[in-house]
Chain A
Amino acid sequence: AQTVTQSQPEMSVQEAETVTLSCTYDTSESNYYLFWYKQPPSRQMILVIRQEAYKQQNATENRFSVNFQKAAKSFSLKISDSQLGDTAMYFCAFMSSGGYQKVTFGIGTKLQVIP
């Protein structure tokens, strides 16, 4: 079974600074998908960014980018120019390419952006 580990329960960052959230996963598969979801205080889960394992290029979405290290099974999220609206829980998630769309989530990292 796949596991997803987020080792940072809480983090804080000053507004406009950059922060990196860590995620590692364990799988024996070669093809899969990785996601970062954001859950603000409103509790609505929102997709931030996704990465296909077969793509070597790291995904980028505006201020959000990932560092995907397939051999190390690492998938970190970098948030640049942090904004107050980035304050949220962030969940790393894994989905097998052949697994009925079933997603395994990490425990989450609580990020606080400080003005």
Chain B
Amino acid sequence: DAGVIQSPRHEVTEMGQEVTLRCKPISGHDYLFWYRQTMMRGLELLIYFNNNVPIDDSGMPEDRFSAKMPNASFSNLKIQPSEPRDSAVYFCASSLAGGRNEQFFGPGTRLTVL
């Protein structure tokens, strides 16, 4: 298995632009998670899905952020409009259901908003 795939690996955009981050989870995994990592706040859970259904989006910072999972093989996280404070590394992770199963992380997308 190729693991969790994220694209792009790096994104540089200007303030006000729409940003779309993409994730392909490991085939067969039931859960998908979106995290944001910054030096100041560490690793923050933004939203997660179970069987393509959003379970908890309480970590999404503002209405500018949205995430969808149209099928079991794909999810995207959109920021519209983007702001400089959105600059961070965004990780996608997936896992199987069942207590001891760990999350498998993608390589992350480093987002820079100028």
Q: Which residues of A contact B (CB under 8 A)?
A: 33, 35, 42-47, 50, 52, 91, 95, 97, 100-108
Contacts and interface: CB of A to CB of B under 8 A. Distances in A.
A102 B100 contact: no
A33 B48 CA distance: 19
B43 interface: yes
A102 B45 CA distance: 9
A44 B43 contact: no
Interface in B61-114: 89, 91, 93, 95, 97, 99-105, 107-108
Nearest to B29: A101
Contacts, number: 49
A50 B102 contact: yes
A43 B102 contact: no
A92 B104 CA distance: 15
27 contacts: A33-B100, A35-B102, A43-B89, A43-B107, A44-B105, A44-B107, A45-B105, A46-B105, A47-B102, A47-B104, A52-B99, A97-B99, A100-B31, A100-B50, A100-B55, A101-B31, A101-B50, A101-B95, A101-B97, A101-B101, A102-B48, A102-B56, A103-B103, A105-B42, A105-B43, A107-B42, A108-B42
A104 B56 CA distance: 13
Contacts of B33: 103
Contact of A52 (B30, B31, B100): B100
Contact of A43 (B50, B56, B108): B108
B99 A45 contact: no
A37 to B, nearest CB: 8
A44 B37 CA distance: 12
Contacts of A106: 42
A108 B99 CA distance: 23
